[in-house]
Amino acid sequence: MKSAITWMQKTAAAAAIAAFGISGANAQDKMPSGEPIKVGILHSLSGTMAISETTLKDAMLMLIDEQNKKGGVLGRPLEAVVVDPASDWPLFAEKARELISQEKVSVVFGCWTSVSRKSVLPVFKELDSILFYPVQYEGEESERNVFYTGAAPNQQAIPAVDYLMNEGVERWVLEGTDYVYPRTTNKILEAYLKAKGVAAEDIKVNYTPFGFSDWQTEVSAIKEFGSTGKKTAVVSTVNGDANVPFYKELGNQGIKATDIPVVAFSVGEEELAGIDTAPLVGHLAAWNYFQSVDTPENEAFITAWHKFIGNEERVTNDPMEAHYIGFNMWVKAVEKAGTVEPDKVIDALPGTEQANLTGGMSKMLPNHHITKPVLIGEINAEGQFDVVSETEELVPGDAWSDFLPESKKLEADWVELKCGNYDTEAKKCLGDTMAN
Amino acid sequence: MTRSIRWLLVGLAVLLFGAASASAQESPAEPGTAAAAQAAGSAATSAAGPAAIVQKFGGKQSYDETEAVIIELAASGDEAVARALRALRDGDLYWRKGDEAVFIGKRQGDDIAIFDPMTGEPAGAVPRGEMEKVRIKNSIRNAVTTALGSLTLRADNPAQRMRAADTLFSEADPEMIASLGEAIAAEEDTAVRARMQEALASATLVSDLPASEKAEAAKILAARGDRESLSMLTRFAGSTDDPVAKKAAETAIVAIQSNIAFWNQMQNVWYGLSLGSVLLLAAIGLAITFGVMGVINMAHGEMVMIGAYTTYVVQEFIRTSAPGLFEFSLLIALPLAFLASGTVGLVMERFLIRFLYGRPLETLLATFGVSLILQQAVRTIFGPSNREVGNPDFMSGAFDLRLMSVNWNRLWIIVFAMVVFLALLAVLNKTPLGLQMRAVTQNRKMAAAMGIRTPWVDAMTFALGSGIAGIAGVALSQIDNVSPNLGQGYIIDSFMVVVFGGVGNLWGTLVGAMSLGIVNKFLEPYAGAVLGKIVVLVLIILFIQKRPRGLFAQKGRFVDA
C-alpha cells in the first residue's frame, strides 16, 4: 500500500512539474519525510461568506497537494489544517489563535472580508505568525505579519476608473454595500475623480445594506442620474449576494451596458455562476486575473483545478490566483530561509518572485503587497470575461493611498524602515500609535 | 462636436486602411484568399462595395480599427450591411483564421455554423478552432447602434424603424434632419412617425435652423415630457439667444418638471406596492404559524428557501428532460414547493414543536436550531454558491407606462401575492379545515370537547403555513438569490409585518405589508436604503408602543387565552 502511494506520488510529482512548468530547483526526487509542516486554512465554510470562501479552501488544499507531490518543502511534507470560522468575525480571531497556539501551524492562508482580517490582526501580531490575505481590499494598512496578495485600490479601482474615463464617462455613480471596504474605496475614488476635474454634482455616492434585494428605487435613481446627456457609469462595490438582484433589476429596467456600464470590483466568475448572464453582457469588472486569460500557466492551473475538484464546470477566480501566488512565494521564501520560523520567513519574503497566471512575474514588495497586472473585462454570454484592457506593466500595490490627505504622507517598508506606516513628513514611524 | 469626431474617425479609417492594405500586399496571400485580400486591400476605398467593406472586419484589429470600419459601413448608406452590423453587436461576427474572410457564426456544439454576412446564406460549418471572433466592447456596440440608426430609418420592419428613430432621438445629430424629413414623409405607421418627429425635433434644437422652428421643436419635446427631453431643453434654453425660442423652451421645462415629479410619486407608490407584495408573500405563511398558532418559528425563512430550491430542482429537471416545458416551470414548481415545505413543516411540528406548545422561548431556540440545520443541509446538498433560477419569458422585461417602467416580474408577483392571500382567506373562512383551525386557536379545550382532533389540526395548520411559505419561495426565486441564506433575509421583515399588522389577522398582514412597503419606498430616495430601513424600524417601535397589538388588534375573550 505504502509503496503504491509512493509510486503514485512520484509519477504525479513529475506530472505536476511538467504541468506547472516550475523549474527543477525546488523539485526533489526524494519523497518528503520527517515531521510535517502545518499550513493553516482560515476560510468560512458555513454562514454568509461560505459562498466565496469555500472555493479558496479547496484551492489551498489543491496547492498543498501539488506541493507534496513535488517533494514538499525543505524535504518535509505539508499538512493542511482546516478550521471553519463560520462567517463570524470574532470567531475568526479564536480560530486563528487555535491554529497558531494549538495546531502550531507555520503559516495561515485565510480571511475574505476586511472585518475578519481586522479581527485576526492582533492575534497574528501577538503570536508572531504569518497571514496571507488573498482578496482585493481597501488598502490603508500594512502589517509586519500580513502579506496582501489581493489588489490594493491602485491595482483595481483606480485603473478601472481610468479606463472608463478613456471611454468618455463624465458622470459617476459610486454604489456600494455599507461597510468598510466600499466606504474607503469610494472615499479614495471620490478624491481621485475630483483631482481629475470631475465636478461634485457629477458624482453620486449611495450605500445599501448587506444582502439588499429590492433595488427598484436605487436603479431608477441611477437611470435618472444618467439621463442628463452626459455619459454615465456605475462603479460598484456592492458585495456578495446583493449583486444578483442588482443586475437583474438593471436588466429589467432596460439599462444596458452600452447606456450605463457598471464596473464591479466584487463580481467574478464565481458570482456570475448563479446568474443568467445574457442581460449583463458588456458590464465590466476589474481584476488582476480572469479565467479566460489565455496563457499556458493558466491553462495548467485550470486543468489541475478541474481534476482536483472533479467538476469541469467549476470556475477559477482572482482570489484563487492570489492564493496560488502567495502560496508559491511562501514556499520559495521558506526554501530560501531554510526554516519555517515566521521571523526568518517574513524577512525572506520581500523580493520573492513568482510567475502569476496571466503571463507576468509578480514580486513581493517591501510593503508586503505584490505587483500585479490590472485587467478590465466585459462580461460575455458564457459567464466569463473578455479582456478589453490590460495594463502594460505590472502595477505595484500601494498600501497607503496617495489620494487621501491623511494617508498621502505615509509609507510602508518592512525591509529598510521596518515600519508599516512611516510618516515621510515627520520622519518617524507611527507604529501602533495611530490605531484606529 | 459629434460631427467633428466623426470626421476625425473617418480620417483615421482612411489612414488605417492605407496601413492595412500595405501589409496585405506584403503578406504572401494564399490563392483562395486572394480575392478577399484584394477586395480588402484595394486602395480605391470609395469604389469598394459594402460587401468588401464588411470583409475588413477580418484579421486581428484594434477596437479603433473596427470602429472605423463601422463608420465606413454607415457612410455606405446601404441597408444590406445591417445584418453584419447586428451580428457584430451581438458578438456573432467571426473571421476565418486561414483567409481572414468574415462570416456570421452560430455556435453548434464544437462547430460554428457560418453564414454569409451580406445575404445570410448558410456557408457550412467549421470547427471552433478555425474561427476567430471579431472583438467588441461597449463603444463598438454603441457605434453599431448609431450606424444602424441612420441605416434602418427606411427599413421594412416598423420595429426596426422605431429603434432607429429612438437612436436618432438620443443622438440629436443635425446632419440627419434631411433624411429624417424624407422618412417622416414616407412613414405610414403613426407611432413610428411620431417618434421620428421627436427625433427631428431633438436634431432641430441643436441645428442652425431659424429660432421659430426651434420653438416648435421645443413644443414637441415638451409633449414627450421625459428626462431626456428635459436635459435637451435645458441645454437649449441655456444656449439660445432668441427670446421666443427661449420662452418656449422654459415653458416646456416647467411642464416636464412637474410631469416628472408626478410620475416619480407614482413610481414610488408602484415600488412600494411591489416591495409590499414581496413582504406579504414572505410573511403570509408566518401569519398562520405565528399569527394564528402563536408559534415563534425562526425556521420560517428556510421554508421559503426550500420552496425556492424546489423551483431550482424543477427547472433543472425540465432543462435536462423536457426543455419545451420551461415556460411552465413555475406553475409546475408551485404545488411541488407547497408539498416540499409543507412536509418539512409537518415533520417539524410532529417531532419538535408539539412538545413545546406554550413555551415560546424554547420554541424560539429550537426552531432557530432547525433553521441552521436546514441551511447547512441545503449547503451540503446544493453547495454554497447561488443556483441559477431562470425567468420564463412572461416574467422578463418591462413595459413603459408613460414615465414609469413596470417590470413584468414585479407585476406578476403582486398579482400572485394577492391570489395567495385571497386563497388563504378562503381556506380559513370557507373550508372545514379553516373552521377547525379557527376553533382550535380560539378555544382549544372547547374545540376538543366538540370532537375536533386538536393535535391533527395543529399539524395541518403548521403544514399549511409552511407550505404557503414554500410557494412564496417560488415567487422570490424570481427576484432574489437562490442560496442557502435566502431565508435569513426575510425572517426579520416577516415578523415585523405580522406584528405590525396585528397578530392573528390576515387583513392586518396585508395592510401591514403594503404600508411598510410604501413607507419604505417613499423614504428611500431621501434617506437612502440604509437609513430608510432604520427609520421604518423606529416608526414601528413607536407604533407598537402606542398600539401593542398592531394595526388590527384581535378583540374578544379568547385573546389572552
| Residue B509's CATH number | 1.10.3470
Which residues have C-beta within 8 Å of that of residue A220, sequence separation ≥ 6?
Answer: A253, B267, B271, B405
CB-count exposure of residue A391 (10 Å: 0-12, 13-18, 19+): middle
Q: Tell me the angle at which helices B190-205 and B227-239 cross, rounded to the nearest 10 degrees.
A: 30
DSSP state of B109: T
pLDDT single digits (tens) A31-84: 677 889 999 999 998 877 887 888 999 999 999 999 999 999 999 999 999 999
Residue B258 domain flag: no
> How far, CA to CA in Å, does A405 sit from each of A140, A188, A297?
12, 10, 40
Indicate whether B87 and B229 sit together in one domain: no
B483/A274 CB distance under 8 A: yes
Residue with cell string 452560430: B106
Residue numbers in A near B408 (CB within 8 A): 252
Indicate whether B459 and B327 sit together in one domain: yes
Residue type for position A87: S
B387/A206 CB distance under 8 A: no
Backbone angles phi and psi of B108, in degrees to 5: -135, 90
| Chain centre to alpha carbon of residue A383 | 20
Using a CB–CB cutoff of 8 Å, tell me whether A292 touches chain B: no
Domain boundary at B241, B275, B306, which? Answer: B241
Q: What is the grid cell recorded at B482?
A: 437562490
Residue of A43, A45, A48, A51 best to disrupt the B interface, most CBs of B under 10 A:
A51
Using a CB–CB cutoff of 8 Å, tell me whether A388 touches chain B: yes
How many A×B Cβ pairs under 8 Å? 135
Of B63, B407, B521, the CB nearest to A252: B407
Distance, CA of A123 to CA of A97 (rounded, Å): 6
Residue numbers in B near A46 (CB within 8 A): 375-376, 379
Indicate whether B428 and B286 sit together in one domain: yes
In DSSP terms, which residues pair with A386 in a beta bridge? A378
Buried b (16+ CB within 10 A) or exposed e, A331-349: bbbbeebeebebeebbebb
Distance, CA of B182 to CA of B530 (rounded, Å): 53
Distance, CA of A172 to CA of A222 (rounded, Å): 10
Distance, CA of B103 to CA of B58 (rounded, Å): 9
Q: Tell me the angle at which helices B243-286 and B454-476 cross, rounded to the nearest 10 degrees.
A: 150
Residue numbers in A near B397 (CB within 8 A): 252, 254
Contact B72, B53 (CB under 8 A): yes
Q: What percent of chain A is predicted at pLDDT more than 70?
A: 92
Residue B59 domain flag: yes
Using a CB–CB cutoff of 8 Å, tell me whether A384 touches chain B: no
Of B232, B384, B485, the CB nearest to A229: B232
Contact B162, B153 (CB under 8 A): no
pLDDT averaged over chain A?
A: 88
What strands lie across the sheet with A78-83, from one edge to the other?
A78-83, A37-42, A107-110, A131-133, A146-148
Of A50, A245, A261, the CB nearest to B379: A50
Distance, CA of A8 to CA of A23 (rounded, Å): 21
Distance, CA of B111 to CA of B128 (rounded, Å): 5
The domain covering A2-151+295-372 belongs, at the CATH homologous superfamily level, to Response regulator (3.40.50.2300)
Of B141, B226, B385, the CB nearest to A282: B141
Distance, CA of A431 to CA of A326 (rounded, Å): 25
Q: CA dihedral in degrees (A26, A32, A38, A42; nearest 10)?
A: 60
Indicate whether B440 and B514 sit together in one domain: yes
Residue numbers in A near B63 (CB within 8 A): 388
- Tell me the nearest-neighbour CA distance from A67 into chain B, angstroms: 27
CB atoms within 10 A of CB B331: 12
A207/B482 CB distance under 8 A: no
In DSSP terms, which residues pair with A413 in a beta bridge? A419
Indicate whether B433 and B463 sit together in one domain: yes
Residue of A213, A234, A263 best to disrupt the B interface, most CBs of B under 10 A:
A213
Indicate whether B236 and B344 sit together in one domain: no
Structural domain including B179 reads 155-241
Strand A419-423 with B122-127, pairing: unpaired
B525/A217 CB distance under 8 A: yes
A48/B485 CB distance under 8 A: yes
Distance, CA of B24 to CA of B99 (rounded, Å): 11
Residue numbers in A near B488 (CB within 8 A): 48, 211
Task: Give one DSSP letter per residue of B27-95, joined into a string.
Answer: S---GGGHHHHHHHH-S-TTTS-HHHHHHTT-SS--HHHHHHHHHHHHHHT-GGGHHHHHHHHTT-EEE
Of A245, A253, A276, the CB nearest to B388: A276
Find the helix or strand (DSSP H, E) in which B19 lies.
helix B2-26
Domain boundary at B94, B120, B144, which? Answer: B144
Q: What is the grid cell recorded at A27?
A: 523539485
Indicate whether B350 and B446 sit together in one domain: yes
| Chain centre to alpha carbon of residue A373 | 13
A51/B267 CB distance under 8 A: no
Residue B98 domain flag: yes
Indicate whether B168 and B219 sit together in one domain: yes
Q: What is the grid cell recorded at A41?
A: 486554512
Distance, CA of B437 to CA of B442 (rounded, Å): 8
Of A209, A249, A281, the CB nearest to B529: A209
Residue of A84, A112, A216 best to disrupt the B interface, most CBs of B under 10 A:
A216
Residue numbers in B near A217 (CB within 8 A): 268, 271, 521, 524-525, 529
In DSSP terms, which residues pair with A305 in a beta bridge? none
Distance, CA of B246 to CA of B551 (rounded, Å): 53
> How far, CA to CA in Å, does B554 sit from each of A372, B109, B438?
64, 63, 13
Instruction: Say if the ipTM goes beyond 0.90.
Output: no
For residue A292, what pLDDT is reported?
92
A253/B398 CB distance under 8 A: yes
A216/B480 CB distance under 8 A: no
Contact A135, A322 (CB under 8 A): yes
B-proximal residues of A, 216-235, CB under 8 Å: 216-218, 220-221, 224, 227-229
Residue B288 domain flag: yes
- Closest residue by Cα to residue A320 from A119, A60, A99: A60
- Closest residue by Cα to residue A289 from A303, A301, A278: A301
Task: Give one DSSP letter per residue of B291-310, joined into a string.
Answer: IIT----TTHHHHHHHHHHH
Of B231, B271, B388, the CB nearest to A227: B231
Residue type for position A70: K
For residue B221, what pLDDT is reported?
85
Using a CB–CB cutoff of 8 Å, tell me whether A50 touches chain B: yes
Residue numbers in A near B479 (CB within 8 A): 213, 245, 248
Q: What confidence category does residue A26 fall into, taking pLDDT thresholds of 50, 70 and 90?
A: very low
Residue B483 domain flag: yes
Residue of B1, B137, B234 best to disrupt the A interface, most CBs of A under 10 A:
B137
Give mean pLDDT, residues A293-312.
93
Which residues have C-beta within 8 Å of that of residue B28, sequence separation ≥ 6?
Answer: none
Domain boundary at B96, B114, B144, which? Answer: B144
What is the block-wise mean pLDDT of chain B (561 residues), using blocks of 10 residues?
51 46 40 41 51 84 86 82 86 86 85 86 85 86 84 82 85 83 86 88 85 84 83 82 82 88 90 93 90 88 95 93 89 95 95 89 93 92 83 83 84 94 93 89 86 91 94 91 87 90 87 93 87 90 88 64 42
CB-count exposure of residue B522 (10 Å: 0-12, 13-18, 19+): middle
Residue numbers in A near B231 (CB within 8 A): 227-229
Assign residue B389 a region: left if phi > 0, alpha if psi is -120 to 50, beta otherwise? beta
- Tell me the nearest-neighbour CA distance from A50 into chain B, angstroms: 6
Using a CB–CB cutoff of 8 Å, tell me whether A170 touches chain B: no
Distance, CA of A342 to CA of B205 (rounded, Å): 71
Of A51, A257, A276, the CB nearest to B390: A276
The reply to whether A154-292+377-396 shares the fold of A2-151+295-372 is yes
Using a CB–CB cutoff of 8 Å, tell me whether A213 touches chain B: yes
Using a CB–CB cutoff of 8 Å, tell me whether A206 touches chain B: yes
Contact A277, A380 (CB under 8 A): yes
Catalogue the E-assigned strands of A159-253: 171-177, 203-208, 232-237
For residue B3, what pLDDT is reported?
52
- Closest residue by Cα to residue A198 from A173, A180, A181: A173
Residue type for position B389: V
Residue numbers in B near A254 (CB within 8 A): 397-398, 405
Residue numbers in B near A271 (CB within 8 A): 386
Q: Which residue of B has its CA nearest to A233?
A: B138
Indicate whether B291 and B437 sit together in one domain: yes
- State the Cα angle at B533 between B529 and B535, rounded to 5°: 120
Q: Which long-range contacts (CB under 8 A, 24 or more apart) does B413-416 make?
A: B413/B274, B413/B277, B413/B278, B413/B281, B413/B475, B413/B478, B413/B479, B414/B273, B414/B274, B414/B277, B416/B277, B416/B281, B416/B475
Indicate whether B281 and B397 sit together in one domain: yes
Q: How many residues does chain A have?
A: 436
Task: Tell me if residue A229 falls in helix, strand or coil.
Answer: coil
Higher pLDDT, B244 or A165: A165
Residue of A174, A214, A239 best to disrupt the B interface, most CBs of B under 10 A:
A214
Residue type for position A19: A
Q: What is the number of domains present in chain B?
A: 3
Residue B492 domain flag: yes
pLDDT higher than threshold 90 for residue A1: no
Strand A37-42 with A107-110, pairing: parallel
For residue A436, what pLDDT is reported?
42
Residue ranges of the domains in chain A? 2-151+295-372, 154-292+377-396, 407-434
Indicate whether B284 and B169 sit together in one domain: no
For residue A128, what pLDDT is reported?
94
Task: Give one DSSP letter per residue of A86-146, joined into a string.
Answer: TT-HHHHHHHHHIIIIIS--SEEEE--SHHHHHHHHHHHHHHT--EEE-S--------TTE
Find the helix or strand (DSSP H, E) in which B553 lies.
none
For residue B529, what pLDDT is reported?
85
Q: What is the grid cell recorded at B217?
A: 421643436
For residue B473, what pLDDT is reported?
95
CATH 1.10.1040.10 fits A154-292+377-396, yes or no: no
pLDDT single digits (tens) B402-439: 778 888 889 999 999 999 999 999 999 999 989 998 88
Q: Which long-range contacts (CB under 8 A, 24 or more apart) does B224-227 make?
A: B224/B198, B225/B255, B225/B256, B225/B259, B225/B260, B225/B402, B225/B403, B226/A227, B226/B256, B226/B260, B226/B403, B227/A224, B227/A227, B227/A228, B227/B260, B227/B403
Distance, CA of A244 to CA of A235 (rounded, Å): 16
Q: Which residue of A has its CA nearest to B275?
A: A214
pLDDT single digits (tens) A209-229: 888 888 988 998 998 898 887
pLDDT single digits (tens) A231-288: 999 999 998 778 888 988 888 888 889 889 999 998 888 888 767 788 788 999 999 9
- Tell me the nearest-neighbour CA distance from B154 into chain A, angstroms: 24
Indicate whether B237 and B270 sit together in one domain: no
Assign residue A402 a region: left if phi > 0, alpha if psi is -120 to 50, beta otherwise? alpha
Strand A37-42 with A375-379, pairing: unpaired
